[in-house]
Homo-oligomer: A and B are copies of this chain.
């Protein structure tokens, strides 16, 4: 069923039917209802390509995921983020267009194609690095975009939504300091990732404000896997001057750290405290009455929802200033922390 057929069925012109369905005021309520009813009955919806061609809109938003680094791209946060974003898209009639860039191929070429083909109305930039080149590139290319996170070294204005990673790790480190911990290890994400960079800043700034010397030998950065948490923690525990607390960048790393602690015959929350950042992934609950881990919490899913709303505003209003939004985390006390052991 297409517009022509529907309008013939109703004995109306295509114009009137189109206007009735798109909410134009020039059509009477009576005919509008008649048209809407018929459209529903016949399962009519305007052909997406035709409508896009006529309006110049793609009604799609692009997400480009580069798989060059096998671990970072398919990160565990991805699913929840996408779920949040996608919910909002669908409420506004947008489709999400996911483009996976196979290893060895050029991510920028995908954006160029988006532009040339008008495949998307806007783009979401995920997992920015400290000096992410995509921001400048997209600005030049002229595709509206919003960044999930920020790029510290990028000085031009651009739209972003980020968690306050710095203050999160300041608070986490302060919290451990208040419990008497003076030797606190950091298991961070990859250091060129902007979020990891800011978390490290927060960690260092807290230590410095308490007069504690920063010790690079207990600071690590890597892909956030379980075995990373396990191995680094095992090494730390065996070292001459082991930490009394560990700060990790994700629940998955924290699980590995906890395993190492337990395997060493120590108790988490007593011998060793662990604080982690928690993205509230749907398959890693950390929400018992007293949660498993003390954590800086921030729902990546809600971040996705909010980000999508900002982006849709940007599309509707192309001349607005690039919006920015900084989400604060919640520090929740769980079972994984306690006073520093005195010995």
Q: Is A76 an interface residue (CB 8 A)?
A: yes
Instruction: Given A47-B118, A224-B283, A255-B226, decide whether A74 and B79 contact each other with a Cβ distance below 8 A.
Output: yes
| Chain B residues, Cβ within 8 Å of A259 | 255, 258-259, 262
| Interface pairs (7), CB distance under 8 Å | A44-B116, A46-B117, A67-B83, A82-B98, A95-B119, A226-B284, A259-B262
Check if A119 sits within 8 Å of B283, measured CB to CB: no
Q: Is A87 an interface residue (CB 8 A)?
A: yes
Q: Interface readout for A162-193 with B: 1 if CB under 8 Å, 0 if not?
A: 00000000000000000000000000000000
Q: Is A34 an interface residue (CB 8 A)?
A: no
Most buried by B among A52, A60, A117: A117
A283 CB to nearest chain B CB (Å): 5
| Chain B residues, Cβ within 8 Å of A11 | none
| Chain B residues, Cβ within 8 Å of A58 | 48-49
Inter-chain CA distance A258–B110, complex, in Å, is 43
Check if A283 sits within 8 Å of B74, measured CB to CB: yes
Q: Is A160 an interface residue (CB 8 A)?
A: no
With CB as the reference atom, state the residue of chain B lying closest to A73.
B83
Check if A225 sits within 8 Å of B283, measured CB to CB: yes
Check if B67 sits within 8 Å of A119, measured CB to CB: no
User: Which A residues from 233 to 249 make CB contacts under 8 A with B?
Assistant: none
| Chain B residues, Cβ within 8 Å of A209 | none
Contact of A74 among B60, B80, B119, B255 (CB under 8 A): B80
A140 CB to nearest chain B CB (Å): 12
Known: A70-B282, A76-B79, A95-B99. 17 other contacts (CB 8 A): A46-B117, A47-B53, A48-B58, A48-B118, A50-B53, A74-B80, A74-B83, A74-B282, A74-B301, A86-B99, A90-B105, A91-B102, A96-B97, A226-B284, A227-B288, A252-B283, A258-B259
User: Which A residues from 243 to 279 make CB contacts under 8 A with B?
Assistant: 252, 255, 258-259, 262-263
Check if B119 sits within 8 Å of A48, measured CB to CB: yes
Q: Residues on A close to B: CB < 8 A?
A: 1, 43-50, 52-53, 58, 60, 65, 67, 70-71, 73-76, 78-80, 82-83, 85-87, 89-91, 95-102, 105, 110, 112-113, 115-119, 223-227, 252, 255, 258-259, 262-263, 281-285, 288, 292, 301
Instruction: Given A53-B49, A76-B76, decide whether A227 and B118 contact each other with a Cβ distance below 8 A.
Output: no
Inter-chain CA distance A76–B75, complex, in Å, is 9
| Chain B residues, Cβ within 8 Å of A105 | 90
Nearest first, the 7 closest Cβ-Cβ pairs linking A and B are: A86-B100, A49-B52, A45-B116, A49-B53, A48-B117, A74-B79, A87-B102
A7 CB to nearest chain B CB (Å): 16
Instruction: Given A119-B48, A283-B252, decide whether A97 and B95 contact each other with a Cβ distance below 8 A.
Output: yes
Check if A97 sits within 8 Å of B100, measured CB to CB: no
Check if A87 sits within 8 Å of B75, measured CB to CB: no
Inter-chain CA distance A76–B80, complex, in Å, is 9
Most buried by B among A1, A58, A227, A283: A283
Most buried by B among A49, A91, A116: A49
A223 CB to nearest chain B CB (Å): 7
